[in-house]
Chain A
Amino acid sequence: MAKSALLKSSIGKKYWMALTGLFLCVFLVGHLVGNLQLIFGDASAFNEYALFMTTNPAVKILSYLTYLSILFHAIDGIVLTIQNKKARPIGYAKNNASSNSAWQSRNMAVLGTLILIFIATHMTNFWAKMHFSEMPLQSEIVNIQGQELEIYKTVQGQPIPANAVQMGQVEIKGTGFYETGSDFKIADGYKDLHKITIEFFKDPAYGLAFTIFYVFSMIVLAFHLLHGFKSAFQSLGANNPRYNGLITTVGNGFAIIVPLLFAIIPLYIYFVK
């Protein structure tokens, strides 16, 4: 008797494609909720969210699962595409494929590749900066007794006046505020991802190009989800006339609403903020 091959068999690969895809759909919702604070929240709300996302242990586990899912989804997709191309060495002179299937369902590999390129640039622009490079710490101008004063926000709550840093009483190492010349940490600042994001899309030279690329990528994502969402259910064996309509409706709604909300954010920053 043949052994089950949950990794190598054609059906096994479907399961993994579906499971990682659906997990990434859940990730999209989480990511979107955070991003929407760029519109509905202030800088503090967004930076607190960013700090939470990069330090909370539970979120860390989820984020590693997300990286793995993206990798596995992409590798599985590449393997599937190569095998599928090999399965028809000589193509048709005329193929009227549009009469029997949706465009996006036939172009998932192309759409997926474009999304992978987007993810690579997106992670370079934001994720890598947040994780690995020196970031400005969040500061704000407050008005105290008619005097404008720049202060750094801290995780511990007590603000640090910017002039204490300028005058050399406090020095910044990484994200921490230290007594100059000692290892005594006074407080932790917030990495100002909010500022980085706003400046990125408002860049005088490239802001418009970044915005257009972002919106384009979200359109690509929408098409990918339009097929991918309901396809995942079919792959996992959930096909029943009783709830197929529901899956399609929810899938189509998800595929349009989620990328649309993502795309509104850079447009809002570029044109409104």
Chain B
Amino acid sequence: MNLTLKIWRQKNAKDKGQMVDYKINNISPDMSFLEMLDVLNNELVEKGDDPVAFDHDCREGICGMCSLFINGEAHGPDRGVTTCQLHMRMFKDGDTIYIEPFRAKAFPVIKDLVVDRTAFDKIQHAGGFISVNTSGNTQDANAIPVPKHDADRAFDAATCIGCGACVATCKNSSAMLFVSAKVSQFALLPQGKVEATERVLNMVEEMDNLGFGNCTNTGACEVECPKGISLENIARMNREYLKASFR
């Protein structure tokens, strides 16, 4: 496959940045999208140019490190996959592919396609945890009975890898799908109920303070989420917040 790539290049956080065109040839349709970028970077390095900076880690679709807004969609045109699991067979020979960083005020660009997603960590620090004894005499988790239905829904919420595709996709740069998944995974389990009130209030306050936008229920996040996190979680967070407000 021969492709034209339009890639966002930005030297550092202060640089203005711009889209730059690259031609790339002989790409196999079996390559992953990141492997295609590896090939491009090899060529750039051989020419003595600065390679394109992009995030990646496990390349198995479970770490949440890779990002990229490809042809107008977070993690590209495929559904239920991260960019590392996106394959070049989703594109056609001769295609022009736009590659941009995830855009949000709360996700500032560090370099090229790499953005700072520390904001998600800050939200987690505000309440995305349960306080338990970890000194060695921890209670067996299976000692607490959990209804299967609740356990399944909590697990579904916990599959969120915190990649930020929801924020990148949302026209308002809202982080509600991420925050609601983190609120839900605990709210559904007995271990999480103890701190449920503080959790939802603190996490929502932190989310608002970090400059994420407001949710307007377009549902785009749910469609683009590589882990299929459902809007039901946002509704649950809305209920949790209301409950917490009157406690």
Contact = CB atoms under 8 A, between A and B. Distances in A.
Interface of A: 1-6, 9-15, 80, 83-84, 86-97, 99-102, 105-106, 108, 227, 231, 234-241
B204 A84 contact: no
Nearest to B239: A237
Contacts, number: 149
Q: Is the contact region of chain A dominated by helix, strand, or loop, or is it mixed? A: loop
B220 A97 contact: yes
B216 A84 contact: yes
B234 interface: yes
Contact of B236 (A15, A84, A237): A237
A155 B109 CA distance: 71
Given A93-B98, A99-B223, 13 more contacts: A1-B201, A2-B198, A5-B205, A10-B207, A10-B208, A11-B238, A84-B174, A94-B71, A101-B220, A105-B217, A235-B217, A237-B236, A240-B232
A13 B216 CA distance: 10
A88 B212 CA distance: 8
Contact of B215 (A10, A227, A236): A10
B171 to A, nearest CB: 5
Contacts of B98: 92-94
Interface residues of B, number: 54
Given A86-B105, A93-B6, A95-B72, A11 B205 contact: no
Given A4-B241, A11-B237, A93-B6, A88 B72 contact: no
B241 A11 contact: yes
B244 A4 contact: yes
Interface string B206-223: 111001111111111001
B242 A92 contact: no
Contact of A87 (B19, B69, B106, B169): B106
Contact of A3 (B172, B173, B201, B214): B201
A84 B173 contact: yes
Contacts of A108: 216
A151 B77 CA distance: 72
A93 B19 contact: yes
Given A93-B98, A235-B217, A10 B176 contact: yes
Contacts of B172: 80, 83-84, 87-88
Nearest to B74: A100
Given A14-B215, A93-B6, A99 B73 contact: yes
Contacts of A6: 245
Contact of A80 (B176, B197, B214, B218): B214
Contacts of B234: 234, 239
B103 A237 contact: no
Nearest to B207: A10
A223 to B, nearest CB: 14
Name which of A97, A227, A240 has the most chain B CB atoms within 10 A of its CB: A97
B216 A83 contact: no
B100 A94 contact: yes
Most A C-beta atoms less than 10 A away, residue of B174, B208, B224: B208
Given A15-B242, A96-B73, A234 B235 contact: yes
B219 A9 contact: no
A95 B168 CA distance: 10
A244 B223 CA distance: 17
- Please indicate which of the listed interface residues A99, A102, A105 has the most CB atoms of chain B within 10 Å of its own CB: A99
Contact of B212 (A14, A87, A101, A240): A87
Contacts of B100: 92-94
B218 A105 contact: yes
User: Which 8 pairs, one residue from A and one from B, show the smallest C-beta to C-beta distance?
Assistant: A96-B72, A239-B235, A87-B213, A237-B239, A4-B245, A84-B172, A87-B173, A100-B223
Contacts of B218: 100-102, 105-106, 227
Given A2-B205, A234-B234, A92 B216 contact: no
Contacts of A86: 105, 211, 213
Nearest to B212: A87
Contacts of B106: 87
Given A4-B241, A235-B217, A87 B174 contact: yes
Given A6-B245, A105-B216, A100 B235 contact: no
